[in-house]
Amino acid sequence: MFSFFKINSNIRSIRRYWNIARVLSKYGFDNALEMLGLADMAAKGRRLFRSGALDLSGFSSAERMRMALEELGPTFVKLGQILSTRPDIIPAAFLTEFEKLQDQVPSISFEELRAQIELELGASVEDLFEFIDHESLAAASIAQVHRARLKSGEEVVVKVRRPGVVKLVESDISAMMALAQLAERHVSGSELYDPVGVMREFARSIRREMDFSREGHTIEKFRDNFKSVAWMHFPHVYWSHSSRGVLTMEYIDGIKVSDLSALENAGLDRKLIAKRGADAFLEMVLKHGFFHGDPHPGNVFILPENRICLLDYGIVGRIDESLTSFLSDIIIAIVNRDMDQVVSLLLFAGDISDSLDIRSLKRDLSYFIDGYYEVPLKEIEVGRMLLEFIEIITLYNIRIHPDLMLLAKSLVIVEGMGRTLNPAFDMVEHVRPFMEKAVRRKMSPKNIYKDISTVLSSYTSLASNLPRDLKEIINRLNRNKFKIDLEHRGLDKFNTDFDRSMNRLSSSLILAALIIGSSIIMQTDKGIQFLGFPVLAFIGYVVAGLLGLWLVYAIIRSGRM
């Protein structure tokens, strides 16, 4: 318990940590607290919920964790949503449950938002807008959206960050980071999943999401990437009415891509929309390396002339050149049924454990490819195939770049929308030309020269630095300053239990000494007498009795008789 508070001595409020432990204990995760070295908190949680506890017998551990995250609030809900895209970190059952987490909360009154808008934009709402609807269009844990009209007449939507949300999120991030540090310290094998690294990535993600100016710049980056594509539309950002906490954008009056009857009534071409949507997404991934990370139907609107408009740019993925090359190579190797090449690419690109069973991995990947061997190309769902591939490699604790996970999830959604719009939709036909371009680019003389130059440069740097590094190691050995840091894991709980046992043993010895000493004094007639007995003996018996009662109470209170 001491180590937990020591790590977090700079945190503003300790009550949040207790609340996290309380909720975890409430939903039956005492074992998780004990694994983190918080056995005292787990014991207090058990006592707290011993009477009137929830009946959780009908719920799985994944369902209980989802309910715990929902009770802990918006930051933990966001964490669950991000983890739902990480099959390399959490089991499939938890993935399914975390996908159910909804970032929907009741709207707050506009009067509470008014002060936030005026603080962010430095003017009164009446001076900024000709009209603003006091009823929200949408409400989430971080922001609330209202429709409005500018003084110049443009119809807009105003996204406003909820008051106090930054302070709440920062407090929760600190708590999560402390728990991640405890996991690295106490949980054996946690280094493979890098809990602190995952938390740092989550902190960056949610901080970016709370900075609406970043979202505005993201929209403009997408617009620049597609400036030559007339059928893609991106909302205009009104920077004069935007800041880090307020984002004012063009109001999009379109039809949701999932509203098939409305699309038909408007005379729009569903097959063309499906084709354009797939081409746009693949161009984002394989050409620009920058893609929309949440393209669900609610964020895709169709405008006249079959134009496509994407909304909500809070989550984006990035695929750099090396990851694009890896993706192209792995798909080519799968198509060619080259298991050795697949495994070689995985070993090169992923973080692997020392106990990797390569033979079993090849066998499972062969079964996976055989399952698609005679399937017609138009029936292959590329997104689900990629997810299945990722699921296999994560069984062997091979970690792949998080953006690749986000890409697979997004590809499933885009492919599903395409098949809904056009039952004959074939994603493979859309992927093929992009892959052919990627292969041609990879095999071009210019790219081969670039790769050779990079390798030669790396070896040259290694050769030039090696003598210096060896000299430094030898000098440190000569000066007796060569240090090897050893870190133990899982001994803190043992040390705590050992200290507690020694304290009880010492108390028992003192108790026995008091009883024996008082009994010896009782046999003498020395000192002050009371009712014919030595007062000192009475005092010894009283102290021994109180000490014994305290010791029995402490043992019962700990729950370990």
Find all residues with CB under 8 Å of 59, minimum gap 6, and list them.
67
Measured from the Cβ of residue 33, the count of other Cβ atoms closer than 10 Å reads 23
Measured from the Cβ of residue 547, the count of other Cβ atoms closer than 10 Å reads 16
Indicate which residue of 294, 329, 403, 426 is catalytic: 294
Find all residues with CB under 8 Å of 393, minimum gap 6, and list them.
88, 346, 350, 361, 400
Distance between terminal CA atoms of the chain?
Answer: 21
Query: Cα–Cα distance between 418 and 273 in angstroms, integer?
Result: 8
Tokens of 384: 């689900």
- Amino acid present at 392: I
Residue 294 falls in the annotated catalytic set: yes
Give 449-455 contacts, CB < 8 A, sequence gap 24+: none
Collapsing DSSP to helix, strand or coil, 109 comes out as coil
Q: What sign for the dihedral angle of Cα 291, 297, 300, 306? A: positive
Q: What is the DSSP letter of 520?
A: H
Burial class (CB in 10 A: 0-12, 13-18, 19+), 71: middle
Query: Cα–Cα distance between 282 and 302 in angstroms, integer?
Result: 18
Report the interhelical angle of 165-186 vs 74-83 (nearest 10°): 50
CA distances to 95, 121, 184, 559 from 409, rounded to whole Å, are 12, 37, 28, 46
**Which residues are known to be catalytic?**
294
